[in-house]
Structure 1
């Protein structure tokens, strides 16, 4: 992997003031994502994982620290990342292909060119024949694929995915993880992936950051050793179970520390 840092967060802090009380959400967050790397953030509910993504995307301003993207200071700047939220956020009145091209249209692409791209891609993600349908005819997993494709086709190279499979049932979730891995291994965008699931983080990632409860710090960083392309057989290996246990113990320590 090239040692070429796509994203750097340097000593990010975030606090909110309410009625004279200051609440520190992010105490000290430093991390990076290399070009073409898949990095996961894992931590308890309320530890500010989504806040970190909002700061990277320029939707929230840090109280201290800075964000660097492609060696440029970008703290507070919007429109530089591709973002996929927890809910699929598809527009119910737009067809599937029209939903896919939303980000491209916002970025100024010609509608006709964007539609050509969408029609080329929908069959690749298993949604050929659905181009003219409305979102309500799709299952949860299919809707997430449309949402992911919208993020994938946007111009920005760094993708931030905020628990995209959290609302899916276990079987659909497993299918979506395999599907995401297949697509990512082919196109290798830089990804920062937020999840609650240790297994999901291990199966998908190159590296994992473990966050504490708030005020949040980075407790640990784990390197995931498996080669790519990756097969779900790794999830039943002894090494996988050991690493899973180590991450779990790290999260427990973070719980005790707070």
Structure 2
């Protein structure tokens, strides 16, 4: 059974002069323990799609299903990691990590204990009582991911979480995320603009068009797990990269 499924999602915003259709007909799914990525041009409605999945926006048409139940418009059922870390500057690192659990009703003492247990596992031992401003961008993203990972919701939606990082830090974070995910196997729906990132991380990739967005192609990533960084040297990696690049280039030029 699919963990998450979108069926015929369409969405139109009412503009000042006209109605703008952002999502045309989006149907996709994420299986239990699967890492699925959406890649498409800027402004193609990927973030809107995440808002619909999270219940913040009700689609004009179509439905969201979670564990076989229709959950369209219902909030609080997924774990979400935004493009920026979105840490509270007045809360300590452990308190930021514990926040999602607290919101879900976990007693604060238990949530903080869980955060303290996990922070060393993600390379942040000794930072429990620090405030976010002392951390680098990559370290802040680790805190943000850990907060999402420890929330009770099984499905994680990651909205281009490494887009603001420099190239080297981004590569390190990709390898780190993959290592953590392969040990826990949460169901992930990931958004990125990077073809290489999508191929390195994913089990499947949905390539979407310019708005009004529709799915151009669904690709199965053939590389074995646990995945090694050297996978980007394989001929199949370059072939898939060129294919996705061709799809996206056609959209940009259209």
- Normalised TM-score (structure 2): 0.98
CA distance in 2, matches of 1:39, 1:152: 16
CA distance in 2, matches of 1:20, 1:145: 42
Q: Does the 8 Å CA contact 1:9/1:68 hold for their aligned counterparts?
A: yes
1:235-255 Cα distance to aligned partner (Å, 9 max, x none): 111110111001111112333
1:41 aligns with 2:38: yes
Q: Does the 8 Å CA contact 1:219/1:254 hold for their aligned counterparts?
A: no
1:151 aligns with 2:145: no
1:101 aligns with 2:101: no
Q: Does the 8 Å CA contact 2:41/2:251 hold for their aligned counterparts?
A: no
Partner of 1:8: 5
SS of the residue 1:182 aligns to: helix
| Structure 2 unaligned regions, length at least 5 | none
CA distance in 2, matches of 1:73, 1:255: 34
Deviation at 1:20, TM superposition (A): 4.6
1:122 aligns with 2:119: yes
> 145, 157, 160: which is aligned to 2:157?
160
Partner of 1:52: 49
RMSD: 0.8
Q: Does the 8 Å CA contact 1:213/1:254 hold for their aligned counterparts?
A: yes
What does 1:176-187 align with in structure 2 at a 5 Å threshold? Answer: 176-187=173-184
- Normalised TM-score (structure 1): 0.97
SS of the residue 1:192 aligns to: strand
Deviation at 1:115, TM superposition (A): 1.1
> 161, 169, 172: which is aligned to 2:169?
172
> 191, 205, 210: which is aligned to 1:208?
205
CA distance in 2, matches of 1:65, 1:108: 31
1:141 aligns with 2:138: yes
SS of the residue 2:22 aligns to: strand
| Structure 1 unaligned regions, length at least 5 | none
Number of residue pairs the alignment of both structures matches:
254
After TM superposition, the runs of 4+ consecutive aligned structure 1 residues lying more than 2 A away are: 252-256
1:195 aligns with 2:192: yes
